[in-house]
Amino acid sequence: MTQLTRRKFIRITRSAILGSAAVAGSSLIMSRPGESAIGADGKTGNSSDEMVIPSYCDVCFMGCGINVTVKNGRAVKIEGNPVHPISRGKLCPRGTGGLGQLYDPDRLKTPLMRVSEDKFKEVSWDEALGFIAEKMKKIKEDYGPESLALLKHGKGADQFVKLWHDLGSKTEGHPSYAQCRGSRDAGWSLTFGKNPGGIERAALDKAEVVAFIGAHLGENMHNVTVQDYTTGLRNGARHIVVDPRFSVAAGKAKYWLPIKPGADIALLLAWMHVLIYEDLYDFEFVEEHTIGFEQLQSHVELTTPEWAATYTGLDAEDIRNTARELGEAVPNAFIFPGRRFAWYGDDTQRARAMAIINALLGAWGSETGIYLGDRIRIPKFPFPESHHEAAHALDVKYKYPLGQSTPVQDIIEASIPGRLKGGWQNAPVKGWLVYSTNLVRAVPNPEIIAEAAQHLDLLVVVETMPSEITGFADVVLPDTTYLERFDIMNAPEWKEPFVSIRQPVVKPLYQSKPGWWIARKLADKLGLGEAFNYDNFREVIEYQLNQLGSSIKDINSKGGVLKKEFEEPTMRFRTPSRKVELFSRQMLRAGYDPMPRYLKHPEPANGFYRLLYGRVPQHTFSRTTNNSMLMEVYPENRVWVHPDIAAVHNLKDGDYVVLKNQKGVRSNRVKVFVTKRIRQDCVYLPHGFGRTDRRLTRGFEVGADDNELLTEYKLDPITGSTGSQVNCVTFV
Amino acid sequence: MARYAMTIDLTTCVACDACVLACKMENNVPDGYHRDWTEQKLTETPRGLDLEMFSNRCHHCKNAPCVAVCPTGASFVKDGIVLVNKDLCVGCRHCISGCPYGARYFHPAGYVDKCTFCDHRLGSDREPACVEVCPTSSLVFGDVNDKNSEIYKLLKKRDNKVLKAEKKTKPKYYFLVSTVEKAKRSVA
């Protein structure tokens, strides 16, 4: 086999696919027994009767319960599942529009293999998987199993994780760590010994006062979080929104603090100062549960509101008043944890500052703050024991002793010979399997992905849609959508413990196959088939439900959800001191500041504006920007520009502009939204647009992509979080 | 006799469009058309910026101009709900220009279509699709003639307004004024 080059990103277009190779006849393509949709009544999705099948959503990763109406084998409606604890019969627009993903005519339909620098051909599953297995074996032989990396997102990746462990590789990463929640969770864990949860365990419905630091609920539409957030508003909760932008949440808040970007820690230190020096903190909680209060007290002695005002651009009185608003509501006040936390490279410290304030407010473990959850443990399926001691291509604990996972960008860089410095690389990374994550739109400085791709011996992408990352692949495998497959059940830690089922509501379209099937077939070809002791993942779910005293039939008769009584967990802090650590000795020992300090970040150059990015309610990352239903309600992103800045650059509302960053990288053209809802020193661009794959008939070159402009990032030394709000743009 | 109406709470609506998508699926609204939609209105007050967000739809007016201008009787009112009998509709579209709220559209199948408050769900335990889906619980539907209904109580309790009151159409889509207490805001 000749070495393939991937110098050119291939848009999977009709012309780029050689012919239309006949792939019929392969038994692998046929639908397997048990893969058809099963309703609560045991009927399949192909019955002519209308029926409603419960499952859980995957348009984002919260796992909301859905009820899908299926008529004559076609899904016609998705609604919130009324018995599901994190849906309560309601859904966000993205979940409601999930059928646009299932029935997207642009979906990947067959396995594709690269045949030259700019051509793919359609192949059978057997050929595609045979090719991948041979390459994987070769990499394992030549370099060791840890040279195979799994880059993934979501529940569908579960059986690939198993396959990787069976192979002997622990080289895994997901952008939801270093690009999103990693630094947040680390900061909270360093303080409380535990993070605030994948679905934040935040009593937005019960607190009297809540502060949001850039968190933009209402634009971020995580269903149950927004439900609780608006219940709070209805009950008269007073909100403090700290954001350079007048977000939707700012529009519903008592206070909007239009902070200068990058100065959040200064504000947080000033809040600590007021809480401590005006005796507005929760004495009992601090006395009983924390260590390091005295150090903290002297640490923030001089960080007064007046001190913070000079850095934050805020009025000192506003800083003082908002701190008092929080402190006077103790213990019914908290700071919301927030997500997409990778901003300025001091992100773990920002999370620490927020966690410390929550400790001062006595919010941890409180019913009106960051409460403790309970969960149902999903029983383990009796897979055969793996014989391997799995190894990792990187010595992550050496590089990030207090980190919690592997930053994806480090795995990407480890694929480029000689790139990673510091002697923490155990083995080269030679092969990637990318499951359901469009890395090119998730990881900053995306050019490095193109560079890494040149050095790989194998790049497999499993996806439902053509995307920027599929363009770099050797082999593209068409995944099923969440509406066509079984996946592991969802049982998050929550105030109402539950287990919910994901199951096919229709048969897989085209030749798409679920992740578990692909992993299982690949295991067969790798000689690891025995480790997958099931024929259909349905058996795994059935077994686990049986262990819980239920069955697929039974859980469906209960609306797709099993619940148990909430058992109040005891408040335990899994920190070295077994206390809430306001002062962190383990951070000090590892060479980090034991308490957060404010560090000034560089200002944009003259004529440049800091590029901020975020969500709109109708879209999830770049996953939905070809979904016909969601594109109809939110068809194109716009760049937010303050009227003063628009005047300087002679821009009018609705004009198209191109954004150019500090390095000269240019965006696709994007409409200008002239608004006083943003500060003069920054612009704002909703994420996920400006798609470059021509096959995306609705998303192609519509709006601009923020990620390609994020050519720089500031690394958080504690977690490897990629602080990406350090890029600036101007207009051309 | 029932008089159905709806309220939208300006305290909580975030204009996310879940209502629009739920309606489209429930009522088979064709691609590119919609029976409801969302709006955002930014105003500048002496106290700072103010952002009003709301879902919008037919206001089911008591004095419905669309019904008055309809030459065939296709547009009519039943229990306070303004409806179109598509078999009687000749597609003249006078009602579309007569509606002060822009709440009607011409269906590609050749008749005028609009919000029905999901009247096909009346009598079942289901709310209109927009009300059911709403993750912010901003919409309440019910009979304002029923003193035990949630909507009756809400309208008694909360300050509310209607849009374009000057048109004197007596709309039955009520906007509950935001109850958020707002400090004087700094402006960026």
Residue A85 near residue A499, CB atoms below 8 Å: no
Q: How far apart are CA A526 and CA A574, in angstroms?
A: 40
Largest CA distance in chain B: 56
Burial (0-12, 13-18, 19+ Cβ within 10 Å), A301: exposed
Provide the 3-class DSSP secondary structure of residue B112: strand
- Cβ distance B132 to A79 less than 8 Å, yes or no, reads yes
Q: A181: which DSSP letter?
A: I
| CATH for the stretch A609-731 | 2.40.40.20
Please count the other Cβ atoms lying within 10 Å of the Cβ belonging to residue B45.
Answer: 10
- Cβ distance B179 to A256 less than 8 Å, yes or no, reads no
Please check the confidence at residue A704 and state whether its pLDDT lies above 90: yes
Q: How far apart are CA A448 and CA A445, in angstroms?
A: 6
| Distance (Å) from the alpha carbon of B40 to chain A's nearest alpha carbon | 10
* Per-residue model confidence as pLDDT tens digits over A471-511: 999 999 999 999 999 999 999 999 999 999 999 999 999 99
Please check the confidence at residue A189 and state whether its pLDDT lies above 50: yes
Provide the 3-class DSSP secondary structure of residue A64: coil
Q: B58: which DSSP letter?
A: -
Q: How far apart are CA A723 and CA A179, in angstroms?
A: 8
Nearest to B17 among A93, A233, A676 (CB): A93
Helices A347-360 and A264-277 meet at what angle, rounded to 10? 20
The pLDDT score that the predictor gives to residue A8 is: 57
The CATH number fitting domain A181-373, selected from 3.40.50.300, 3.40.228.10, 3.30.1360.70, 3.40.50.11750: 3.40.228.10
Query: How does residue A656 score in pLDDT terms, banded at 50, 70 and 90?
Result: very high
| Distance (Å) from the alpha carbon of A97 to chain B's nearest alpha carbon | 6
Residues of B in contact with A258 (CB under 8 A): 186-188
The b/e string for A687-726 (b: 16+ C-beta within 10 A; e otherwise) is: bbbbbbbbbbebbbebbbbbbbbbbbbbbbbbbbbbbbbb
- Any idea which residue has 């006849």 for tokens? A25
- Cβ distance A254 to B182 less than 8 Å, yes or no, reads yes
Nearest to B135 among A227, A244, A321 (CB): A227
* Mean pLDDT of the region A433-462: 97
| Distance (Å) from the alpha carbon of B168 to chain A's nearest alpha carbon | 30
| Distance (Å) from the alpha carbon of B125 to chain A's nearest alpha carbon | 12
Residue A731 near residue A648, CB atoms below 8 Å: no
Please check the confidence at residue A272 and state whether its pLDDT lies above 50: yes
Residue A167 near residue A393, CB atoms below 8 Å: no
Residues 112-131 of B with CB under 8 A from A: 129
* Per-residue model confidence as pLDDT tens digits over A551-568: 999 999 999 999 999 999
pLDDT per residue of chain B (188 residues) written in tens, 0 to 9: 899 999 999 999 999 999 999 999 999 999 999 999 999 999 998 889 999 999 999 999 999 999 999 999 999 999 999 999 999 999 999 999 999 999 999 999 999 999 999 999 999 999 999 999 999 999 999 999 999 999 999 999 999 999 999 999 999 999 999 999 999 766 65
The pLDDT score that the predictor gives to residue A296 is: 98
The pLDDT score that the predictor gives to residue B184 is: 74
Residue A119 near residue A652, CB atoms below 8 Å: no
| Distance (Å) from the alpha carbon of A222 to chain B's nearest alpha carbon | 9
Query: How does residue A30 score in pLDDT terms, banded at 50, 70 and 90?
Result: very low
| Radius of gyration of chain B measured on its C-alpha atoms | 17
Strands (E), B14-167: 37-45, 48-56, 75-78, 81-84, 105-107, 111-113, 139-143, 160-161
- Cβ distance A230 to B138 less than 8 Å, yes or no, reads yes
- Cβ distance A233 to B180 less than 8 Å, yes or no, reads yes
The pLDDT score that the predictor gives to residue A14 is: 39
Q: Which amino acid is at A108?
A: L
Cα-Cα end-to-end distance for chain B = 52
Residues of A in contact with B140 (CB under 8 A): none
ipTM of model over 0.95: yes
Write the CA distances from A157 to A253, A380, A433, integer angstroms: 39, 17, 10
Residues of B in contact with A244 (CB under 8 A): 188
Residues of B in contact with A93 (CB under 8 A): 16-18, 20-21
- Any idea which residue has 């603090």 for tokens? A257
| Distance (Å) from the alpha carbon of B172 to chain A's nearest alpha carbon | 22
Contacts of A444 (CB under 8 A, 6+ apart): A179, A409, A707, A710, A711, A712, A713, A722, A724
The pLDDT score that the predictor gives to residue A6 is: 54
**What are the DSSP calls for A473-486, one per residue?**
-SEEEEBPPGGGS-
Chain A interface includes B22 (CB < 8 A): yes
Residues of B in contact with A247 (CB under 8 A): none
The pLDDT score that the predictor gives to residue A13 is: 43
Nearest to B135 among A76, A226, A234 (CB): A226
Please check the confidence at residue A283 and state whether its pLDDT lies above 60: yes
The pLDDT score that the predictor gives to residue A42 is: 42
Nearest to B25 among A77, A252, A253 (CB): A77
* Per-residue model confidence as pLDDT tens digits over A128-157: 999 999 999 999 999 999 999 999 999 999
User: Do the domains A609-731 and A181-373 match in fold?
Assistant: no
Q: Which two tokens stand for residue A348?
A: 């773990």
Contacts of A358 (CB under 8 A, 6+ apart): A334, A335, A364, A369, A370
Contacts of B49 (CB under 8 A, 6+ apart): A246, A251, A256, A676, A677, B42, B43, B185, B187
| Distance (Å) from the alpha carbon of B19 to chain A's nearest alpha carbon | 8
Mean pLDDT of chain A: 94
| Radius of gyration of chain A measured on its C-alpha atoms | 25
Q: Which residue of A has its CA nearest to B18?
A: A93
Provide the 3-class DSSP secondary structure of residue B77: strand
Q: How far apart are CA B172 and CA B79, in angstroms?
A: 12
CB–CB contacts below 8 A, A to B: 142
Domains of chain A, residue spans:
181-373, 609-731
Residues of A in contact with B14 (CB under 8 A): 218-219, 221, 226, 230, 248, 252, 617
Nearest to B49 among A76, A632, A677 (CB): A677
Residues of A in contact with B31 (CB under 8 A): 628, 632
The helix or strand, by DSSP H or E, that contains position A419, with its residue range, turns out to be: none
Q: Which residue of B has its CA nearest to A682?
A: B188
On the CB side of A582, CA atoms within 13 Å amount to 26
Domains, chain B, in order of start with CATH, read: 4-176 (3.30.70.20)
- Which candidate in A234, A257, A630 is best for mutational testing of the B interface (most B CBs within 10 A)? A234
Please check the confidence at residue A27 and state whether its pLDDT lies above 50: no
Nearest to B187 among A92, A617, A676 (CB): A676
Q: Which residue of A has its CA nearest to B41?
A: A251
| Distance (Å) from the alpha carbon of B22 to chain A's nearest alpha carbon | 6
Q: How far apart are CA B107 and CA B86, in angstroms?
A: 10
